[in-house]
């Protein structure tokens, strides 16, 4: 017989004995006496109990006489967990009575209502091994399994705007990832279906109800498509992702309600961009469509594949760079670099700017229509009310060729000039070293320099050959794209203005009114306004 106590009582015909576990490290006398009294043994030999506790002899020690009225049956105790999923049983050994059977234990459990998940194997071991004083799990219920709600896994990052670290002490406050760009057919989110719940059963045979799983409808909003299995959401257009009224939408237009500044960061979007306020100094807007600005464009960078409309103007401060494949419309352009794939339309003034349009530059749309200072390039025509000013501010107007072709050719010519200078220096040094070689004064170090310069000469000459081929192609492109360019001034043009049409330049030396400049017979000639 085993017990969790390091002692036990043994009932024999000749008396009641106390057996103490010889391997026990400590046996508390008070616990032994309390247990003896709990078995209603009042007349016992205290000295014998003390000897058994202190000496721990191999044989049990007789501590009391045997009386039939002291015999007690085994006590069977049962306790259940609060959730009803576990029942434990403990047997207190009998005194002078038979050890309980499995059936006796089962009867007691039935009386307490425990009927499900009974572990008869454990009961049998407790009875066979006469395990006393230990709580043993004799029944286990089946716990309920809560359902798992359906959930959505976003395939695009919709986290709030947050600055990215540049290094340990700096963060990028401009590239905040404000716009979530997606393309047609891109997956936006995946739905993980709800996992059903499972009912459980307590040791009392009662059904335990689980938490039921909740399904969720796919949050399909504008310009989105649900897959056939209902588990994936795709974008049906190119655009930006927004959550509107708890639905995922893809919008073809990205709208900034205020300014493009540190609150929004730079804007990069595949479609149209609408800025209700101003694009502030130092920020960038890039769009795959058009851009509409309700305020002004300061010293910012704007690049778009469509048209640019600026309700105010472009106040460049010498820093603005605007590159547009379509038409630019603004009230004014001041100290800015602007390139248009089509036309530039300005209501009031173009001042001290470098502007170019493949089509026309038209300043006769508002009250002023002034062009003064800087460089003005147009593929076909420049129209304005006033060109230059009374102070003779230098104003250069070039028409008759697309500005990008002129700029490309100028870059090629500049590269050719730099290469020619470098080649001249190399040839001069080679000539000097060859003279030394002819005099027999070329040491090994100078000979190595001569070899390097000779290799550099051949490489540079090859590069110049390629550059000249590009210039030839550029010249052909310019010939194909030359037009009968025209500069038309409705009111006055002032000295300080130069007009170049198809490569021929006319310098304005006197004020002229109501005039047009045309290319006639290889010359630029003033004619009445047309």
In angstroms, rounded to a whole number, what is the distance separating the alpha carbons of residues 406 and 471?
Answer: 11
| Tens-level pLDDT at each residue, the chain (530 residues) | 444 678 888 878 788 888 888 888 888 888 888 888 877 787 888 888 888 888 889 899 998 887 777 777 888 999 999 999 999 999 988 887 888 999 999 999 999 999 999 999 999 999 998 888 889 999 999 999 999 999 999 999 887 556 665 666 666 667 777 788 999 999 999 999 999 999 999 999 999 999 999 999 999 999 999 999 999 999 999 999 999 999 999 999 999 999 999 988 899 999 999 999 999 999 999 999 999 999 999 999 999 999 999 999 999 999 999 999 999 999 999 999 999 999 999 999 999 999 999 899 999 877 899 999 999 999 889 999 999 999 999 999 999 876 666 777 778 888 889 988 998 999 999 888 888 888 888 888 888 888 998 998 999 888 988 888 877 776 766 665 566 789 999 999 999 999 999 888 999 999 999 999 998 888 999 999 87
Query: pLDDT at position 25, please?
Result: 82
What are the distances in angstroms from CA 420 to CA 425, 450, 452, 460?
9, 19, 18, 9
In angstroms, rounded to a whole number, what is the distance separating the alpha carbons of residues 247 and 343?
Answer: 40
- Chain mean position to CA 49: 77
198-243: pLDDT as tens digits: 999 999 999 999 999 999 999 999 999 999 999 999 999 999 999 9
At residue 120, φ and ψ (nearest 5 deg) are -70, -25
In angstroms, rounded to a whole number, what is the distance separating the alpha carbons of residues 43 and 401?
Answer: 128
- What CA dihedral angle connects 432, 438, 441 and 445, to 10 degrees? 60
Note the helical H segments in 276-356: none
**Quick check: 506 and 444 in contact, CB under 8 A?**
no
Query: pLDDT at position 170, please?
Result: 60
Encode 327-346: b = buried (16+ Cβ within 10 Å), e = exposed.
bbbbbbbbbbbbbbbbbbbb
At residue 203, φ and ψ (nearest 5 deg) are -65, -15
Query: pLDDT at position 171, please?
Result: 60
> Across the strands, what pairs with 411?
none
Query: pLDDT at position 2, please?
Result: 45
For residue 27, give the DSSP letter: -
Query: pLDDT at position 9, please?
Result: 81
**Angle formed at CA 506 by CA 504 and CA 511, multiple of 5 degrees:** 165
Residues 6+ apart with CB under 8 A from 168: none
Q: What single string gives the DSSP state of each residue in 214-259?
A: ------B-TTEEE-TTSSEEEESSSEEEEEETTEEEEESEEEESS-
Q: Which of 390, 376, 399 is nearest to 491 (CA)?
A: 390
Query: pLDDT at position 169, please?
Result: 61
At residue 286, φ and ψ (nearest 5 deg) are -125, 130
pTM: 0.64
In angstroms, rounded to a whole number, what is the distance separating the alpha carbons of residues 118 and 106?
Answer: 9
Query: pLDDT at position 166, please?
Result: 62
Query: pLDDT at position 479, please?
Result: 63
Token pair, residue 75, equals 């006590």
Note the helical H segments in 380-512: 403-438, 444-481
For strands 370-378 and 247-251, give the pairing: unpaired
């Amino acid at each position: 017989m085993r017990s969790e106590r390091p002692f036990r009582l043994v009932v024999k015909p000749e008396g009641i004995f106390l057996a103490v576990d010889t391997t026990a490290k400590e046996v508390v006398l008070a616990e032994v006496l309390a247990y003896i009294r709990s078995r209603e043994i009042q007349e016992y030999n205290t000295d014998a109990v003390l000897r058994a506790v202190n000496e721990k002899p191999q044989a049990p020690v007789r501590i009391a006489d045997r009386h039939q009225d002291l015999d007690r049956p085994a006590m069977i105790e049962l306790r259940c967990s609060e959730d009803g999923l576990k029942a434990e049983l403990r047997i207190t050994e009998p005194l002078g009575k038979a050890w309980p059977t499995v059936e006796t234990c089962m009867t007691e459990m039935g009386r307490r209502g425990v009927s499900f998940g009974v572990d008869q194997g454990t009961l049998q071991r407790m009875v066979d091994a006469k395990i006393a004083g230990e709580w043993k799990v004799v029944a286990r219920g089946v716990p309920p399994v809560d359902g798992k709600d359906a959930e959505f896994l976003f395939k695009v990052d919709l986290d709030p705007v947050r600055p990215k670290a540049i290094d340990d002490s700096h963060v990028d406050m401009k590239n905040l990832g404000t716009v979530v760009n997606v393309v047609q057919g891109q997956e936006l989110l995946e739905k993980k279906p709800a996992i059903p719940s499972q009912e459980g059963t307590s040791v009392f045979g009662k059904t335990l109800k689980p938490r039921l799983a909740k399904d969720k409808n796919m949050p399909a909003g504008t310009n989105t498509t649900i897959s056939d299995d209902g588990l994936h959401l795709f974008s049906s257009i190119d655009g930006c992702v927004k959550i509107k009224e708890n639905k995922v939408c893809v919008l073809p237009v990205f709208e900034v309600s205020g300014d493009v500044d540190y609150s929004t960061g730079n804007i990069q979007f595949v479609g149209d961009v609408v800025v209700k306020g101003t694009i502030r100094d130092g920020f960038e807007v890039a769009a795959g469509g058009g851009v509409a600005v309700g305020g002004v464009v300061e010293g910012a960078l704007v690049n778009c594949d469509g048209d640019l409309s600026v309700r105010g103007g472009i106040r460049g401060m010498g820093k603005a760079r605007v590159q547009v494949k379509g038409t630019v419309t603004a009230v004014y352009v001041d100290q800015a670099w602007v390139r248009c794939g089509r036309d530039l339309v300005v209501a009031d003034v173009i001042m001290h700017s470098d502007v170019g349009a493949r089509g026309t530059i038209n300043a006769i749309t508002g009250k002023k229509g002034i062009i003064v200072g800087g460089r003005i390039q147009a593929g076909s025509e420049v129209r304005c009310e006033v060109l230059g000013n009374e102070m003779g501010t230098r104003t250069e107007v070039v028409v008759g060729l697309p500005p990008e072709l002129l700029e490309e050719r100028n870059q090629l010519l500049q590269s050719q000039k730099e290469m020619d200078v470098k080649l001249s220096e190399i040839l001069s040094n080679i000539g000097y070293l060859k003279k030394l070689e002819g005099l027999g004064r070329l040491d090994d170090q100078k000979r190595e320099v001569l070899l390097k310069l000779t290799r550099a000469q051949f490489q540079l000459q090859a590069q110049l050959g390629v550059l000249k081929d590009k210039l030839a192609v550029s010249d052909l492109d310019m010939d194909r794209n030359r037009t009968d360019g025209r500069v038309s001034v409705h009111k006055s043009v002032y000295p300080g203005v130069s007009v170049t049409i198809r490569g021929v330049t006319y310098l304005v030396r006197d004020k002229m009114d109501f005039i047009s400049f045309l290319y006639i017979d290889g010359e630029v000639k003033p004619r009445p306004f047309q």
